Amino acid sequence: MDGKSLVSIVSFGLSKFGKLEGLYAREIFAEAAKEAFDRCPKLEPKKDIQALYVGHMGESYEHQGHTGATMADWIGLGHVPATRTEAACASSGAALRIAICAVRSGLSDVVMVGGVEKMTHRPTAEVTEYLAMASDYPFEQWNGMTFPGLYALMATAHMHQYGTTERQLAMIAVKNHYHGSLNPKAHMQKEITLQTALSSRPVAWPLKLYDCSLITDGASCLILTKPELARKFTDMPVDIVGSGQASDTIGLYERKSLTSLAAAKVAGKKAYEMAQVNPEEIDVAEVHDCFTIAELIAYEDLGFCMPGQGGSLIEKEETKLGGRIPVNTSGGLKAKGHPVGATGTGQAYEICLQLTGQADKRQVKDAEIGLTHNVGGSGATATVHVYRRG
Amino acid sequence: MRVAEQAPFTIEQFYKHISQGKLLGGRCTKCGKLHLPPRPLCDNCYSKDFKWTEIPARGRLVTYTVIHIAPAQFQSMAPYAMGIVQLADDLKIPGMIRGVALEQIRIGMELTMDYGTCAATQPWPQWPRYYFKPA
């Protein structure tokens, strides 16, 4: 590819993220779909949408599998082919990748892609156990590892190798809560102080409660089409110009580096090459901050700074709104929330708002090129997408 | 070792060795890559021929964490330390670190493997657990 549009996003929708009591996943997905349908009056969903891909991680939450058909049913898409993708927390990033392939193959002109997870009705201990399934069972989980524990291992290694501090990690939480306070759909819309973050109770040292993303309910979706058909549906399309996905060992312990996610670097390189875009050209990015250390490592893996310089980047406020490269203007997984299956296309939703000038109080001025980075598990899956205002 | 050499190169068999107090990996007889844990297909050359190889059960701590919020079956042990240990041949393995005060754990410290007994409290899995302690 040569920087040309792979597909165009002609509409996008996002449910409220938060503790959505009394709602079932399919009902939350319908809320996101309704927004996308209303946003694009020229689209006739039943006639135009030819396939649906839905990211969803766990059937344990609602005792409900078979998510693709369930969602198609509840958003009135009748017999449209509908498929669920699962790649842990990157489930809808992977769905997006497949949706792009579906359009590029020529088999479908218009596809809908999204994700959903309903988590908050379960006790935290159960949710923790379901989330841990994204990591290796026979060696990591069996011997006492937890999911926050895996990212804590990366944090300790990063601190040891580069001198990164718990204070710098806390700054990421403070920044994302500030961004979340500007997002009416965020789970947490309250600013926090550095002291609150630093004095919160330990979960897996060096990670504390405020280093961890939220257990959240939510859904997100996008409607994609061939670039040449985009203007038929909207005057403000957002083009996807780069797509990368990569895998790595399921066990963190088998990786060469414990301070970087190789899959994210590979996926990022692929996406940048396809888009013919350099990291310096990214105006706004949504990265996978399931833990604060994950955002810091993402800065380095995506080339926003050199390896080991992530701590300095956050200290200089370069990734805050108004900085050189605002990251997670939505509040990120940290404050907007992390309904795992919905996260990947939820990130794309924020980039669509930004590139079409609809991000309101958190608008990045003249944003033209955006990026999303969605990671599954401790980095065994990563998807990176690059977007350009159409 | 004759019986072990004929045993399948599986996770199940890895834990059978652990229950006997031995750390064994599978060395590919075609390309020579040593796999820990063992696997039935060499990810380097796709050979299915391996030889059980004993690995010195000691190494150096490369990173660690202290788990405060633990899964139900480990909650009574919390807070406890988990780490990744660098063994010989560029191999690494995760595990719990015991027998040392949490505040005295340091990256780079020498650890040896310790072996637990089989868990027979559930239908599956009934693997033993292994641990690390200061050398």
- The reply to whether A220 and A199 lie within a common domain is no
Nearest residue to A243 (alpha-carbon basis) of A39, A94, A22, A33: A94
Other CB atoms within a 10 A radius of the CB of residue A32 amount to 28
Residue A156 and residue B65: Cβ atoms within 8 Å?
A: yes
Nearest residue to A377 (alpha-carbon basis) of A113, A61, A149, A218: A149
Q: Which residues of B touch A128 (CB under 8 A)?
A: 69, 71
Q: Is the pLDDT of residue A321 over 90?
A: yes
Res A276: pLDDT: 97
Is A134 a member of any domain? Answer: no
pTM passes above 0.95: yes
Q: Which of A179, A288, A338, A385 is catalytic?
A: A338
Q: Provide the residue type at A60 as one letter.
A: S
Strand order in the sheet with A238-247: A82-85, A51-55, A110-117, A218-225, A7-14, A238-247, A381-389, A369-376, A284-286
Strand order in the sheet with B50-54: B34-35, B24-28, B50-54
Is A138 a member of any domain? Answer: no
Is A48 a member of any domain? Answer: yes
Q: Which residues form the domain of A364?
A: 144-213+241-389
- The reply to whether A86 and A183 lie within a common domain is no
Res B5: pLDDT: 52
| CA pair distance A343, A376, nearest whole angstrom | 10
Nearest residue to A374 (alpha-carbon basis) of A383, A362, A387: A383
Q: Which of A89, A221, A290, A305 is catalytic?
A: A89
Nearest-Cα residue of chain A relative to residue B105: A156
Q: Domain boundary residue among A205, A238, A271? A: A238
| CA pair distance A146, B70, nearest whole angstrom | 7
- The reply to whether A44 and A93 lie within a common domain is yes
**Cross-strand pairs, A383:** A245, A374
Q: Is the pLDDT of residue B119 over 60?
A: yes
Other CB atoms within a 10 A radius of the CB of residue A257 amount to 15
- The reply to whether A178 and A327 lie within a common domain is yes
Q: If you search the block for the tokens 């969803």, which residue do you land on?
A: A56
- DSSP conformation class of A221: E
pLDDT in tens, A93-131: 999 999 999 999 999 999 999 999 999 999 988 998 899
Q: Is the pLDDT of residue A285 over 60?
A: yes
Strand, helix or coil for residue A20: coil
Total count of domains within chain A: 2
- The reply to whether A176 and A226 lie within a common domain is no
Question: Which DSSP helix (H) or strand (E) runs through A32?
Answer: helix A25-39
Active site residue A89: yes
Nearest-CB residue to B80 (from A139, A140, A144): A144
Nearest-CB residue to A153 (from B64, B70, B129): B64
CATH of the domain at A27: 3.40.47.10
Does ipTM come in above 0.90?
A: yes
Alpha carbon of B2: minimum distance to chain A alpha carbons (Å): 26
| CA pair distance B122, A334, nearest whole angstrom | 36
| CA pair distance A281, A288, nearest whole angstrom | 20
- The reply to whether A160 and A53 lie within a common domain is no
Residue A146 and residue B71: Cβ atoms within 8 Å?
A: yes
Q: Is the pLDDT of residue A1 over 70?
A: no
Q: If you search the block for the tokens 């350009």, which residue do you land on?
A: A388
Res A361: pLDDT: 98
Query: A142: Cβ–Cβ under 8 A, 6 or more apart, which residues?
Result: B125, B127, B129
Is A130 a member of any domain? Answer: no
Listed by start position, the domains of chain B span: 2-54, 58-134
- The reply to whether A208 and A232 lie within a common domain is no
- The reply to whether A165 and A269 lie within a common domain is yes
- The reply to whether A114 and A181 lie within a common domain is no
Residues of chain A with pLDDT > 70, as a percent, come to: 99
pLDDT range class, residue A3, cuts 50, 70, 90: confident
Nearest-CB residue to B70 (from A138, A146, A156): A146
- The reply to whether A227 and A371 lie within a common domain is no
Q: Name the pairing type of β-strands B92-97 and B128-134.
A: parallel
- The reply to whether A38 and A148 lie within a common domain is no
Residue B69 and residue A128: Cβ atoms within 8 Å?
A: yes
Helices and strands of chain A, counted as H and E runs: 14, 11
Residue A144 and residue B96: Cβ atoms within 8 Å?
A: yes
Is A129 a member of any domain? Answer: no
- The reply to whether A151 and A103 lie within a common domain is no
Mean pLDDT of the region A198-209: 98
Query: B61: Cβ–Cβ under 8 A, 6 or more apart, which residues?
Result: B83, B84, B85, B86, B97, B105, B106, B107, B108, B109, B110, B111, B132
Active site residue A56: no
Q: Is the pLDDT of residue B26 over 60?
A: yes
Is A1 a member of any domain? Answer: no
Res B1: pLDDT: 47
